[in-house]
Structure 1
Amino acid sequence: MTKKIKLGAFLPGGGQHIASWRHPDQPADGATSFEFHKQLALTAERGLFDAYFLADGLAVSLGGVTEGGFAKVAGFEPVTLFSALAPLTTHLGFIATASTTYEEPYNLARKFASLDLISAGRAGWNVVTTATEAAAHNFNLEQQHPHAFRYERAKEHVSVVKKLWESFEDDAFIRDKESGVFYDSQKVHLTEHQGEHFKVKGPLNIPRSPQGHPVIVQAGQSDDGRALAAETAEVIFTAQQHLSTAQEFYRDIKSRAKALGRNPDHILVMPGVAPFIGRTEQEAQEKYQQLTSLILESDGISLLNGLTGGTLDLSNYDLDGPLPEAPLTEGMKSRQALLRQIADEHNFTIRELYQWVATARGHYTIVGTAEQVADKLQEWFENDAADGFNILPPYLPTGLEDFVDLVIPELQKRGLFRTAYESSTLRENLGLPFPVNSHTRIKSKAEQEA
């Protein structure tokens, strides 16, 4: 089978661009409108997307609130939302974000296993370590944990969650009414984990789903993040600005995974792409300029204050001057470095920088026709820079509809994208292998050797 591009749809109801909620096409209450999220899910499924992806935070951006703010200030908890959307769709996957820093493995494993059963095998977990001081203040901490600590905890956390997801073997539940045997007790297993950060006895009280367990997703950029992704992730979202840097990241992740004994083909690298799509270049540029004109200066400053680690108050600087130097903080180090790279490469002023990153926070932005967008996706896909892409429509629903109605047919015409779903589970649609339960594997090996 010819390899095809995989596509995720990043669809926050309030829009991706910080000013999108002010656009006439987007409902102002989209962030907390279930009907709007339902519309987005159905449109994504019509476009044959692999999954609906949602990021999530554990704090309110106070800068945004005090200055009037943008729509990311409040929204749904992703697993709750996806549990409601899953029965309304049949093939679309649902990738929800949850934190290894502020959630215990048992609770997290349980809610994602539940979503996986509710969706009949279409759930994914986006693993994050949550890098903000504001979130720390909501969880009994005076300051956030150091970067290295968060990733050490994350590594162990994912390991425990995977063990919990294997508590029941796939055929453990007999449910024989005549005999009265509900499950085979020999096919349920204690977790018995004792590590540096967690002590979990198990087993989990949720059975396995048709896809074995939820797809594990990660967005590693830093060295610690790449190490975690290469060891644990099946899908990796990344922010890249150039083909060359995307290729470097792709090669690095694949080689790290291979060195750990994993099959590199079973790890999908999917950079984020934010497209402004027009039937002509001029129309695409007009869409970009219209949205840019809606950015409030205070929101642009607030956005950069957060993305640069919160060590600068950029309102004290000339917005038409250069971005001042700022030390890397314990927050999102890789994103802070990427912002500096973007500012330096384009010689952006502070104003120009927030106008550019307002769309996608450092992910690759394309302004052009459907053919030009498809050209760029094809170039990256065919030159070892991506296995697929996480599409971030700048405003909704129009940005998503433009991609589905204009770019998807172009990709299909080039033989780069599916014309129908291959399966009913997220794992199979992504071309990822079924995770054989380790307890079942051990038993099978013992039987073969006997």
Structure 2
Amino acid sequence: MVEQAKRQLHLGAILEGVGADHHSWQDPDLPSDASIDINWYIEHARLAEQAKFDLVFIVDSPYITPDTAPHFLNRLEPLTLLSAVAATTSHIGLVGTLTTSYWEPYNVARQFGSLDQISRGRAGWNVVTTGLEGAARNYGREEHFDHKVRYARAREFVDVVQGLWDSYEDDAFPRDRATGTFLDKSKQHRLDHKGAHFSVAGPLALSRSKQGQPVIFQAGDSSEGRNLGAAIAEGTFAASQDFEAGRAYYADLKARAAALGRNPDLIKVLPGLVPTIAETDEEAQAIAAAAQGALDIGKLLTQVGRAFNYHDFSVYDLDAPFPDLSGVTLNSYKGQAERIIRVAAEEKLTLRQAAYRFGQWKSDFVGSPETIAAEIERWFVGRAADGFILRVTRPGDFALFRERVVPILQERGLFRTDYEGDTLRSHLGLPVPENRHSEAARQTQAIAAE
């Protein structure tokens, strides 16, 4: 397989409305109803497109509590939202989250296939298995699926969806008025899938878009999550919070993909990015320190508790060692929970220290625009990332990144100055997957010709 002559940095924007933390919503420049204001999403998607970002990304979760972060309390459904954004943009990729635990493959194939057609090949699906156990009761179940079952189900789910996306070969519709032939019936294919978790006949009543299929993203950090990402993902949203952790995740995921026979260069690793930018490094560090000092410890504890299905950490002594959680379920965000427990034990953290470490996004990216760009380059060149997914809530921070950091990355030859294509796959340097039925027919013909 021919590799790209030069790696290109990729940039995405998570549009989080009033914020997936507990503090951003208080920014006076942010509309207090941003998470349900479609015009806010359209405006910020257009701004990201003007800056030549690869994609915008909409997070989702099917369960909330009164202590859930503001954005999740009151937000638009991702596919509905992205369909509106698709009609008002022309190039930027559109990635949304849908769970494999509480949906059906046929519905998801149809929804994302429709978004891919509406956007003319710009759709991407962030595959999640749902970490929060409370979601089960919103979908008629008393208990959440076990962690291993969720990932086995997810793998089969994605296989079924991708099979449905190939229901029609690319030339299945001659639409020949002279002969009265709308469909070449030999190029419509049933799936007839019967597996451990799903039974789906097909075909899907929708043809493929110009990029073939939506791009698959994934973000699991447990061993099962990484295995799933290595098997199915074309992009991963990594939780790496420092350079060494980023390099370790990058190497591990790509090695797992290579072991499965995949080209690891065709999985783009995109850690989250929450920079603090100012004119000078000193000013940025002062801003970061002030923000740290203003944090509410109770809300940080809630954020830590979310990894443990909203376990209540307020009942523990803040300055005692991080509590023993051996009796607490890890059937939620297992990889994140395991990391918190491990680091707290290794570094002998108190609960207060753990709350400040894990209740907010820790960032290596604090400084002037030049410093931020240099750190992005270090991660990219050092194989800790193929790009970044920027969390967008505060308007001023987003403007600084677009207007001050992106031009430096462009001057250094790291990031595009214009789009070279108009599909998400073209932005990410990913090939258009051949329709499986066309591929099988081509291979059969080649064998017959030998």
Instruction: Answer yes or no: is the 8 Å Cα contact 1:19–1:291 preserved in 2.
Output: no
Find the counterpart in structure 2 of residue 400 from structure 1: 398
The one-letter code of the counterpart of 2:315 is: N
Which residue, out of 413, 421, 446, partners 1:423? 421
Find the counterpart in structure 2 of residue 160 from structure 1: 160
CA distance in 2, matches of 1:280, 1:346: 32
CA distance in 1, matches of 2:436, 2:260: 18
Q: What pairs up with 1:162-311 in 2 under 5 angstroms?
A: 162-289=162-289, 291-292=291-292, 295-311=295-311
The one-letter code of the counterpart of 2:144 is: Q
Call closer, same or farther: CA 1:422–1:343 in 2, change over 3 Å.
farther
SS of equivalent residue, structure 1 residue 405: helix
SS of equivalent residue, structure 1 residue 174: coil
The one-letter code of the counterpart of 2:134 is: A
| Residue 343 of structure 1: how far off its partner (Å) | 4.9
- 1:50-108 alpha-carbon deviations (Å, 9 max, x no partner): 000111000113334xxxx6332120111110000011111100110000000100001
CA distance in 1, matches of 2:378, 2:33: 37
Instruction: Answer yes or no: is the 8 Å Cα contact 1:50–1:92 preserved in 2.
Output: yes
TM-score normalised to the size of structure 2?
Answer: 0.93
Q: Identity over the aligned pairs, expressed in percent?
A: 41
Answering whether residue 47 of structure 2 is matched by residue 48 of structure 1, we say: no
Q: What pairs up with 1:261-410 in 2 under 5 angstroms?
A: 261-289=261-289, 291-292=291-292, 295-311=295-311, 313-327=312-326, 329-340=330-341, 343=344, 349-360=350-361, 364-393=363-392, 395-410=393-408
TM-score normalised to the size of structure 1?
Answer: 0.93
CA distance in 1, matches of 2:376, 2:33: 32
| Residue 195 of structure 1: how far off its partner (Å) | 0.3
SS of equivalent residue, structure 2 residue 151: helix
Which residue, out of 411, 414, 421, partners 2:412? 414
Uncovered stretches (5+) of structure 2, i.e. residues with no partner? none
- 1:240-286 alpha-carbon deviations (Å, 9 max, x no partner): 13323322222222222222221111111111121111111233234
The one-letter code of the counterpart of 1:374 is: A
Find the counterpart in structure 2 of residue 18 from structure 1: 22
Q: What pairs up with 1:82-97 in 2 under 5 angstroms?
A: 82-97=82-97
CA distance in 2, matches of 1:70, 1:405: 28
CA distance in 1, matches of 2:175, 2:291: 56
| Residue 232 of structure 1: how far off its partner (Å) | 0.7
Instruction: Answer yes or no: is the 8 Å Cα contact 1:274–1:359 preserved in 2.
Output: no
Instruction: Answer yes or no: is the 8 Å Cα contact 1:18–1:359 preserved in 2.
Output: no
Instruction: Answer yes or no: is the 8 Å Cα contact 2:151–2:228 preserved in 1.
Output: yes
Call closer, same or farther: CA 1:342–1:84 in 2, change over 3 Å.
farther
CA distance in 2, matches of 1:272, 1:34: 23
CA distance in 1, matches of 2:343, 2:373: 23
The one-letter code of the counterpart of 1:330 is: N
SS of equivalent residue, structure 2 residue 84: helix
The one-letter code of the counterpart of 2:37 is: S
Find the counterpart in structure 1 of residue 67 from structure 2: 63
Aligned residues: 442
| Residue 7 of structure 1: how far off its partner (Å) | 1.1
CA distance in 1, matches of 2:103, 2:39: 29
Call closer, same or farther: CA 1:290–1:5 in 2, change over 3 Å.
same
| Residue 357 of structure 1: how far off its partner (Å) | 4.2
CA distance in 1, matches of 2:20, 2:418: 27
The one-letter code of the counterpart of 1:432 is: L
| Residue 287 of structure 1: how far off its partner (Å) | 3.7
Highest RCO, 1 vs 2 (Cα 8 Å, sep ≥ 6): 1
- 1:390-437 alpha-carbon deviations (Å, 9 max, x no partner): 1224x3222221211111111111111111111100001100011000
| Residue 337 of structure 1: how far off its partner (Å) | 2.5
Call closer, same or farther: CA 1:142–1:334 in 2, change over 3 Å.
same
Instruction: Answer yes or no: is the 8 Å Cα contact 1:96–1:125 preserved in 2.
Output: yes
SS of equivalent residue, structure 2 residue 17: coil
| Residue 5 of structure 1: how far off its partner (Å) | 0.5
| Residue 446 of structure 1: how far off its partner (Å) | 1.6
Instruction: Answer yes or no: is the 8 Å Cα contact 2:9–2:380 preserved in 1.
Output: yes
Call closer, same or farther: CA 1:293–1:76 in 2, change over 3 Å.
farther
| Residue 300 of structure 1: how far off its partner (Å) | 2.7
Q: What pairs up with 1:103-122 in 2 under 5 angstroms?
A: 103-122=103-122
CA distance in 2, matches of 1:341, 1:91: 42
CA distance in 2, matches of 1:430, 1:166: 21
Call closer, same or farther: CA 1:256–1:232 in 2, change over 3 Å.
same
CA distance in 2, matches of 1:304, 1:183: 54
SS of equivalent residue, structure 2 residue 276: strand
Call closer, same or farther: CA 1:400–1:322 in 2, change over 3 Å.
farther
Answering whether residue 438 of structure 2 is matched by residue 440 of structure 1, we say: yes
Call closer, same or farther: CA 1:36–1:354 in 2, change over 3 Å.
farther
CA distance in 1, matches of 2:248, 2:356: 27
Call closer, same or farther: CA 1:365–1:106 in 2, change over 3 Å.
farther
The one-letter code of the counterpart of 1:280 is: T
CA distance in 2, matches of 1:365, 1:161: 38
Call closer, same or farther: CA 1:3–1:340 in 2, change over 3 Å.
same
SS of equivalent residue, structure 1 residue 216: strand
SS of equivalent residue, structure 1 residue 88: coil
